Structure 1
Amino acid sequence: MGESGTTFRFMLPVITSLLDRCEFSGRGRLPQRPIKELVDILKKSGCLISSDKLPFKITNKFRFNNVDIRGDISSQYISGLLLCAPMQNEDVRIDIISKLESKPYVDMTIDVMKKYGIEVVQEKKSYFISKNNKYTNKGISDIIQKIEGDWSNVAFFLVAGAIGSKQVEIKGLNLNSVQGDMKILEILKKIGAKVEIDINSGVVKINKHILKQTDIDICDIPDLLPILTVLASACIGKTRFYNISRLRLKESDRIKSSVDMINSLGGIATEEENSLVIEGKGYLKGGEVSSYNDHRIAMSATIASIICENPVILDEENAVNKSYVNFYEDFEKLGGRYVIIDRK
């Protein structure tokens, strides 16, 4: 599984639904990231699991029809269970027994499943999949051609347009997307950036304007926090991010790594109870930053260089390869500059 929590939580129920025996391993922080709730469900169904943490071996197929799962730890639990539901050969009901956080990610799962022939019936706090649902590859070529852009990664360059001196134009976006991170457009407007949208062509243009502080709920958009702390540093005044507690469980402790990133660059970031506060000065000084081997911290620190008085020296810069291999090349295309330092 490498270090991918998404892949792990999706594939754990899917692979065990297909195979009698399998083995999972991972590296980095993945063995420490939450998985207990899914493991408990597998055990209850009759799966034999050699350990509660990675690496482990699993014997017996995963079979279930009704299951209760918390929604406030990881929405990926629900997505994984949804993906394997059509493999159970009976009606499946998934009940959410807490507040469902990051719901837009579950909506994305359901949207993709629909394209492959699966109808998920949503109720207030549950999901139902009939045993008559079967995955189909009908029209798969059209589906592949229509895979939409990733709003989580687009957000870095949209923020670059909002804090830099040059307009940033992004093409080929789905402006009717169910992706939760499309909320970056709403946030940029709220904070004062100039946002131009052409829904028909899927083009977004971002320009800097007078940026003002605000409060931002991170509950459904946790992946945006690092780059939003950079945006907040470009504002004048205090910006507060709240409902952030689950960010401790990402590729890094993303609360700590975001605070450290801003403070290392000469900004003012403080952690409060379930919130993070940035006291924006309109600029950062620059300096040395650790990415904590977290792709979103590495990309955020790079974009932060736009408002830094001095260069940014980034450690473990290759973390971007987890999700955006060509990130630095695209940064350069938009006018950024970077050099690889050999520290040997």
Structure 2
Amino acid sequence: MNPGTNGARLPSGSRSRPVSSSSVPQKLVSAPVARLEGRVRAPGDKSISHRALMFGAVTVGETTIEGLLEGEDILSSAAALRLLGADVVRLGDGAWRVRGVGVGGFREPPDVLDMGNSGTSARLLSGLIASHAFTSFMTGDASLRRRPMLRVIEPLSRMGARFVSRDGGRLPMAVTGAPTMMPIEYRLPVASAQVKSAILLAGLNTPGETTVIEPEPTRDHTERMLEGFSAAVRTRALDDGARAITIVGQPELAGNRHIVVPGDPSSAAFAVVAAAVRPGSDVTVENVGINPTRAGLYETLREMGAALSFENRRVMGGETVADLRIRGGALKGIDVPPDRAPSMIDEYPVLAVAAAVAEGTTRMQGVAELRAKESDRLASVAAGLQANGVRFEIGADYLHVQGGAVPGGGLVATHLDHRIAMSFLVLGLAAQSPVAVDDGSPINTSFPGFADMMNDLGAKITNA
């Protein structure tokens, strides 16, 4: 392989000078450290936070939410729901109240629905508004406007909604809902929790039964939360190994619910990997959701030899959570099976960091979906590895990383992608020379306070 050819916190260590949280381009630098130590708390799960606001908005009654992630992506969902008629109010730190309008009760929004950088907001809200007989206009930032929406446009159009978008199904777009939607049975061409959720949410206000067939299990937060709001949802395994999820349309969702949002396993992944790649580290990330449809990274790290344990298991809001304790040590390269991709699709960038430090080659297969994220993450990861002297091989749906000593010293282009920024800041902690990212401001979309949390553990992440 040739580089670039194919390829309340508990402080434990000094904090570097504060990192600002501006939305303007912000170059950050991460310097090597010997070890990390301490306890931190993961921010609220982004997927569950989006759904808590959206489902609360279509109930009759009041939903209170505790531990909501207050990143920019979630605030985009909240703002859109207000424009659609729901009463969405922040009560305090992570505490929110939603007074819903009932299934089918949205009003025509008086302004454009700006989804910012949030693909989850855009795709799930497309499903919710597709069954309302008015026209909405939806846009997003430069990164979101490059992301494909055809994967939700196609099934929602079959149900009766109409879409006008830019070439390739990209934002901005207009969504005109159907007065009466048609239930469908739809087999996903690619496993995607966002597309599955968009169809199920459209099915909420559709008479009859709407069914989504997914070839491989994806995160099931939508199904779990719908059941928590008393919707009729059935899941069954099919003979070919696929899974069918059916929703019975036009229920009255039960209001007056209290939702506790667990910590986000995708956000916890950065501190976990950072500790895993620095021998002698001992870090605990508290309150992390360990839903089996989201736990692929942790299974993979264990196979690589990481000393990772789940402590204090309990159930919060229908989700299993635990405190993750990780002790740093030697890692080895492995072959990651492609069928694990749906359970860790957001974690491949930071897994590539672990692979860069591990002994031997780590082969990641079936990762083509990374090309449809906030950036072409497969290409972005490869470019970041190349900039820091890591050997790799890349293909249409695979990435092989040759591990060992990481020279570092590179500047990584984030392409407005928060996970690329955070992943390569983690790499800087284990490299021989500091690693810089050209713009860390997108981190605020999903993980406000990331740099401060990492610095509390002993990292050295600073403004350049």
Paired residue type of 1:234:
V
Distance 1:7 1:81 in 2: 14
Q: Name the structure with the higher helix share.
A: 1
Paired residue type of 1:219:
A
Q: Which moved more, 1:120-129 or 1:236-245?
A: 120-129
Paired residue type of 1:297:
I
Residue number among 234, 256, 274 corresponding to 1:121 in the alignment: 234
Change in 2 beyond 3 A, CA 1:93/1:16: closer
Distance 1:287 1:37 in 2: 36
Change in 2 beyond 3 A, CA 1:194/1:95: closer
Q: Tell me what 1:93 maps to.
A: 210
Matched residue of 1:50: which SS? strand
Distance 1:249 1:332 in 2: 31
Paired residue type of 1:127:
I
Q: Tell me what 2:306 maps to.
A: 193
Higher relative contact order (CA 8 A, sep 6+): 2
User: Do 1:91 and 1:128's aligned partners in 2 also have CA atoms closer than 8 Å?
Assistant: no
Q: Tell me what 1:70 maps to.
A: 188
Given the alignment of the two structures, is residue 83 of structure 1 paired with residue 201 of structure 2, yes or no? yes
Q: Tell me what 1:172 maps to.
A: 287
Residue number among 361, 366, 376 corresponding to 1:243 in the alignment: 366
Paired residue type of 1:262:
L
Matched residue of 1:266: which SS? coil
Given the alignment of the two structures, is residue 12 of structure 1 paired with residue 130 of structure 2, yes or no? no
Q: Tell me what 2:341 maps to.
A: 219
Matched residue of 1:223: which SS? helix
Distance 1:23 1:274 in 2: 33
Q: Tell me what 2:420 maps to.
A: 297
User: Do 1:37 and 1:69's aligned partners in 2 also have CA atoms closer than 8 Å?
Assistant: no
4+ residue runs over 4 A deviation? none
Cα distance, 1:147 vs structure 2:
1.2
Q: Tell me what 1:257 maps to.
A: 380
User: Do 2:147 and 2:373's aligned partners in 1 also have CA atoms closer than 8 Å?
Assistant: yes
Cα distance, 1:37 vs structure 2:
3.7
TM-score, normalised on structure 2?
A: 0.67
Distance 1:73 1:130 in 2: 22
CA deviation map 1:1-39 (0-9, x unaligned): 122111111000202223522111122232332222432
Q: Tell me what 1:59 maps to.
A: 176
Distance 2:296 2:385 in 1: 22
Given the alignment of the two structures, is residue 34 of structure 1 paired with residue 148 of structure 2, yes or no? yes
Unaligned runs of 5+ in 1: none
Number of equivalences: 330
CA deviation map 1:53-100 (0-9, x unaligned): 322223343612124242406331111111232222x2222243xx63
Matched residue of 2:363: which SS? strand
Distance 1:318 1:163 in 2: 25
Residue number among 143, 157, 163 corresponding to 1:43 in the alignment: 157
User: Do 2:425 and 2:436's aligned partners in 1 also have CA atoms closer than 8 Å?
Assistant: no
CA deviation map 1:77-129 (0-9, x unaligned): 111111232222x2222243xx634x332x12111212211231012342222
CA deviation map 1:122-168 (0-9, x unaligned): 12342222246331123x22x2xx21111011011111110124211
Q: Which moved more, 1:22-31 or 1:62-71?
A: 62-71
Task: Quote the sequence identity (%).
Answer: 25
Q: Name the structure with the higher strand share.
A: 2
User: Do 1:305 and 1:312's aligned partners in 2 also have CA atoms closer than 8 Å?
Assistant: yes
TM-score, normalised on structure 1?
A: 0.89
Distance 2:158 2:205 in 1: 18
Change in 2 beyond 3 A, CA 1:50/1:211: closer
Q: Tell me what 1:206 maps to.
A: 326
CA deviation map 1:195-216 (0-9, x unaligned): 2322436222111122111011
Change in 2 beyond 3 A, CA 1:61/1:222: same
Cα distance, 1:284 vs structure 2:
3.7
Q: Tell me what 2:224 maps to.
A: 111
User: Do 1:47 and 1:59's aligned partners in 2 also have CA atoms closer than 8 Å?
Assistant: yes
User: Do 1:21 and 1:61's aligned partners in 2 also have CA atoms closer than 8 Å?
Assistant: no
Q: Tell me what 2:433 maps to.
A: 310
Paired residue type of 2:401:
I
RMSD value, Cα: 2.1
Distance 2:247 2:157 in 1: 22
